[in-house]
């Protein structure tokens, strides 16, 4: 299965003020998610942000909301967005969910597994997820893969969403996001 931008929603999980500094690569993770948000904006893929207990852990990073040009923000106390019953109907109406965020082995994992249980096609952007431990990150990715979650990179999201070099946005996206050093 390939990502289809008319069937997908990007769900950014818990990239919050008081969590990000504990990750293995906080700056790189933020830059890669910001890149992904901008690409999804260009491709008109809807964006949803989840926040785990924002009163205690802070809001989604402002630069990510700005890169998205908006997006729906949902709050939860469950680790899984599905168990938290916070996902908007617009996301649940689509067949595919592209996931990124933190932490790979907790909130991203539990959300991915429960979205699969709902029958969704789930794509986890491995280079736009992070956690406090490389070991836990690797195990989280492996467990999701074993459960039928598609593990992808940011560039896979781009090229699958475009499908062809003749796509009206291919030239603009390739010049803006695929030239030079990537975050």
Q: What is the pLDDT of residues 58-74, one digit of tens each?
A: 999 999 999 999 899 99
Q: What is the mean pLDDT of residues 150-174?
A: 95
What is the strand order of the sheet 96-102 is part of? 72-76, 47-52, 8-13, 96-102, 121-130, 150-152
Phi and psi at 51, nearest 5°, equal -130, 125
Question: Does the reported pTM lie above 0.95?
Answer: yes
Residue 43 DSSP SS3: coil
Query: Are 123 and 149 contacting, i.e. CB atoms less than 8 angstroms apart?
Result: yes
CATH of domain 17-22+29-64+71-89+101-118+126-177: 3.40.50.850
Average pLDDT, whole number, for the chain?
A: 96
* Tens of pLDDT, residues 87-133: 999 999 999 999 999 999 999 999 999 999 999 999 999 999 999 99
pLDDT confidence tier of residue 181, bands split at 50, 70 and 90: confident
First-to-last alpha carbon distance for the chain, in angstroms, is 27
For residue 154, name the pLDDT band (cuts at 50, 70, 90): very high
Report the pLDDT value the prediction gives residue 95, as an integer from 0 to 100. 98
Q: pLDDT-derived band of residue 25, with 50, 70 and 90 as boundaries?
A: very high
77: number of Cβ within 10 Å: 10
pLDDT at 182: 83
């Amino acid at each position: 299965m390939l990502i289809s931008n008319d069937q997908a929603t990007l769900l950014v999980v818990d990239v919050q003020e008081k969590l990000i500094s504990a990750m293995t690569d906080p700056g790189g993770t933020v830059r890669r998610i910001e890149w992904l948000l901008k690409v999804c904006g260009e491709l008109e893929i809807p964006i949803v942000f989840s926040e785990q207990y924002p009163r205690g852990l802070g809001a989604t990073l402002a630069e990510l909301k700005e890169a998205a040009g908006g997006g729906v923000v949902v709050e939860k106390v469950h680790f899984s967005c599905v168990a938290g019953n916070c996902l908007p109907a617009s996301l649940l109406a689509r067949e595919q969910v592209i996931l990124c965020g933190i932490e790979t082995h907790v909130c991203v994992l539990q959300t991915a597994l429960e979205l699969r249980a709902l029958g969704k096609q789930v794509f986890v952007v491995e280079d736009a997820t992070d956690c406090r431990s490389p070991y836990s990150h690797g195990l989280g990715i492996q467990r999701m893969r074993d459960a039928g979650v598609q593990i992808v990179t940011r560039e896979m999201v781009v090229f699958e969403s475009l499908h062809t070099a003749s796509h009206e946005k291919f030239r603009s996206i390739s010049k803006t996001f695929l030239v030079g050093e990537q975050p």
